[in-house]
A and B are shown apart, each in its own frame.
Chain A
Amino acid sequence: MTILSVNHLSKQYGSITALKGVSFDVPPGAVFGILGPNGSGKTTLLGIIMGVLNSNSGSFLLFGEQPTGQMRRRVGTLLETPNFYHYMSGEDNLKITAAIKGKGTDQIDRVLERVNLLSRKKSPFSTYSLGMKQRLAIAASLLGDPEVLVLDEPTNGLDPVGIAEIRDLIKALSREGKTIIMASHLLDEVEKVCTHMAVLRKGELLITGKVSDILARGDIVEVRASDGADISAVLKNFTGAQSVQLQDGLWEMTFADNGTPLGKINEYCFSKGIILDHLALKRKSLEARFLELTKN
């Protein structure tokens, strides 16, 4: 059973198409990153899944069934911005969340401690910093020990230490067997914590699958001649090389497929009278892959 199955979901805002027939599945236990530039439809997609936006067409199944309010109680959600009553304390706000989710208030201290907010639980929400508001929203999403977490830009407003903490928290929750669906435009964030991903651009799904599979599509080989000479013309003639460009003093050869034989490159260069002092297979970064996917 998939945790979430999205089928041809579309959403229009007047003449603007926010989502165009998006389909994908989220397997149980995955940390599923929804990636895309600003305005690509990430929040709209999560808004539809969490019942606050209506789709124009398409459908989705949550826990293999038609979504209901009761099912949303099994999902911890941080959508867009932390939404709380400003005149109430963090603790009182969480009491409301717990009551709506049909859970007791005994977990409140535990979840506040998990996001380092326990000492400020009595302070009014209006006195919280942006980072603290974000932490409170994450604490609220953890109430009731939900099976699934939906986090929209969870590190928004956090300082570097806070970002690292939330990243560790997500990894820890994943190890506990929870499924995490996370929208982000921070590629580094997704690359570090996600097992699966979907890339959106202007409401269209460009690619979806395991992060390792998506990144593994095509090799990048770093090459440098011992004398530091410009060898780009020679490298471009190597079979399978799609492009060659200088990057930080190294020539980067891009290949469409995986499994590029480094030995063959060395042999080829040697046959052309070039001695190499650097030859390495570089894992394609998510950033490179993302730009490759979204540039058109």
Chain B
Amino acid sequence: MKEFIWVEWNKVRKYTAFWVMLILYIVGVFGLNFIVYQFHKENLGSGRPPGTAQLFGSPFDYPDVWQTISWNSGWIFPILGLLLITLMTNEYTFKTHRQNVIDGWTRDQFISVKWLWVFKFSGVATVVAFLTALLFGAMGNTPFSASGMVNILWVFLQSISYMALALLFGVLIRKAGLAIVLYFLYTYVLMYMLRHYVNEIAPSAQVGAYLPLTLSNELIAFPFLKTALKGQLTPPPPTYALVIGSLVYPVLIYWWMIAKFRKSDL
């Protein structure tokens, strides 16, 4: 394990694009939350009709800040996904996936080593969400509260699904440009369309909530307009089902990649 981590670390240590994208991710999470925070502060603060504040709630105060930051972070995950696709497709571009196997790794080891990035990036996403929540929480009007901190754990699970799908796109598509475009298209557009149409087919079953990514997205509820939306939204599937599903999909994706890589000519 130590050898695998060392090798992968040395592959990115001097890779400028890696650090640039990682910084962009951190800036992106902070920036998006800051924009929403400013919007909320300027438009929904004092001077508005009575009841506005109650309607919109205090998403950047404890304990809601955990949920707000976690939910917002989900929109920036694709930057980490892009980075993971780049790391994977670089291997195809440089043909180093062949060389790593020639030099002594098995095909399973090569994929598993890449899979470590899924966890590493999910760890980064979790830490960044945690620190951002602390930062915005500190700017709020309520004392620290750990209530709702479970949302940070959901960030980890949600991120694993996003990273697993990114890696799958990289492995299957091989070309960086095409893989990135399709990944963004799926995460920002197709996933929502698919969910909508699947739900249309069977409205009572709400199967759309169980699709890859939509399932882990359901873990973190929409954090805004809580009062206004109370009882208006379709209740999400039970948490245990979401957690199990969020773990099952990545496992299936892992085995798919292993099977694909074993069968393919490199």
Residue numbers of A with Cβ under 8 A of B are 47, 50-54, 68-70, 72-73, 77, 79, 81, 83-88, 92, 95-97, 99-102, 140
Contacts and interface: CB of A to CB of B under 8 A. Distances in A.
A53 B265 contact: yes
Interface in B86-128: 90, 94-96, 98-107, 109
B265 A52 contact: yes
B178 interface: no
A70 B264 CA distance: 21
Nearest to B16: A87
Nearest to A50: B102
A59 B99 CA distance: 22
B7 A100 contact: yes
A4 to B, nearest CB: 15
B100 to A, nearest CB: 6
A53 B96 CA distance: 14
List 5 tightest A-B contacts by C-beta distance, closest first: A73-B104, A83-B99, A83-B95, A52-B266, A69-B106
B71 to A, nearest CB: 36
A86 B14 CA distance: 11
B266 A99 contact: no
A140 B101 CA distance: 14
A99 B16 CA distance: 22
Grouping DSSP codes into helix (H, G, I), strand (E, B) and loop, the B interface class, with mixed when no group exceeds half, is helix
Nearest to A124: B14
Contacts of B264: 54
Interface string B1-31: 0010011001100111000000000000000
Given A72-B104, A73-B103, A96 B10 contact: yes
Contact of A99 (B10, B14, B99): B10
A51 B10 contact: no
| Majority-rule SS of A interface residues | loop
Q: Which of B103, B105, B109, B263 has most chain A Cβ within 10 Å?
A: B103
Contacts of A50: 101-102
A96 B102 contact: no
Given A69-B106, A87-B14, A92-B10, A51 B99 contact: no
Given A81-B95, A96-B7, A99-B3, A52 B102 contact: yes
B105 A69 contact: yes
Interface of B: 3, 6-7, 10-11, 14-16, 90, 94-96, 98-107, 109, 263-266
Nearest to A47: B265
Nearest to B106: A69
A291 B94 CA distance: 36
A79 B98 contact: yes
26 contacts: A51-B106, A51-B107, A52-B102, A52-B265, A53-B265, A54-B263, A54-B265, A69-B104, A69-B105, A70-B104, A72-B101, A73-B103, A77-B102, A83-B95, A83-B96, A84-B94, A85-B90, A87-B14, A87-B15, A88-B14, A96-B7, A100-B100, A100-B103, A101-B104, A102-B104, A140-B103
A69 B109 contact: yes
A52 B101 contact: yes
Contacts of B16: 87
A101 B103 contact: yes
Contacts of B90: 85
Contacts of B265: 47, 52-54
Contacts of A87: 14-16
A85 B102 contact: no
Given A51-B107, A87-B14, A96-B10, 8 more contacts: A54-B265, A70-B104, A72-B103, A81-B95, A87-B15, A87-B16, A97-B99, A100-B105
Contacts of B101: 50-52, 69, 72
A47 B94 CA distance: 17
A101 B264 CA distance: 23
A84 B16 CA distance: 17
Contacts of B109: 69
Given A53-B265, A92-B10, A96-B11, A85 B96 contact: yes
B93 to A, nearest CB: 8
B35 to A, nearest CB: 33
A97 B6 CA distance: 12
A293 to B, nearest CB: 29
Contacts of A88: 11, 14
A198 B47 CA distance: 89
B230 to A, nearest CB: 53
Contacts of B106: 51, 68-69
Given A83-B94, A87-B14, A88-B14, A97 B103 contact: yes
A248 B107 CA distance: 55
B102 A51 contact: yes
A140 B16 CA distance: 24
A96 B105 CA distance: 12
A120 to B, nearest CB: 16
B105 A92 contact: no
Q: Which of B14, B15, B99 has the most CB of A within 10 A?
A: B99
Given A52-B266, A87-B15, A79 B10 contact: no
A72 B15 CA distance: 28
